[in-house]
Structure 1
């Protein structure tokens, strides 16, 4: 699961959202249709983590409970930004998402691999 998370799922989201930022940079605009499509997939991914993976991680690694709680809050913060569909919000959304992915990978991958 950890390798799949980092090498496939997060990489795909990173590329997609970074491409949205790059493509909208010159005119400072957002391709709303592309954003919504990508965001809907991300939302589905986060729902799986919030309702399946994170509860399991809390149970198996109680020492990481506070870190998992932070990841859940990260997901909620992204939902708040999603409602603002302008270029500045997109940039902030992507920056937070990349940070969230990095911290999530540091939390879950060593536990799964080690």
Structure 2
């Protein structure tokens, strides 16, 4: 059993913050615009897909850890996909892969060795 302010608090707080921020982002996108742009011609789809895509990526990231893929593999995959998607540029693929290769194992070491957080293991 986890201590409520110990090793379980950080993953629960981070997951809650991610879900909250995604929900806020979706609400902002769905809010009516303050003023209409008179220079826009035609009718465009009023909703951006970015908040939905970001939310789906976060859910997939958490689900991947839940089904037994551990922490490092989903983290690397999430960062490799999320950084270019949010940055809206294919030029970010190489920097994203580099950052993911460092952050995946680096965060695992930091969270398990320094903060003693019990992270999901690869197929426990």
Q: Greater CA radius of gyration, 1 or 2?
A: 2
Q: Identify the TM-score tier after normalising by the shorter chain.
A: 0.3 to 0.5
TM-score, length-normalised on structure 2? 0.37
Of structures 1 and 2, the one scoring higher in RCO (CA 8 A, sep 6+) is 1
Of Structure 1 and Structure 2, the greater helix share is in 1
TM-score, length-normalised on structure 1? 0.39
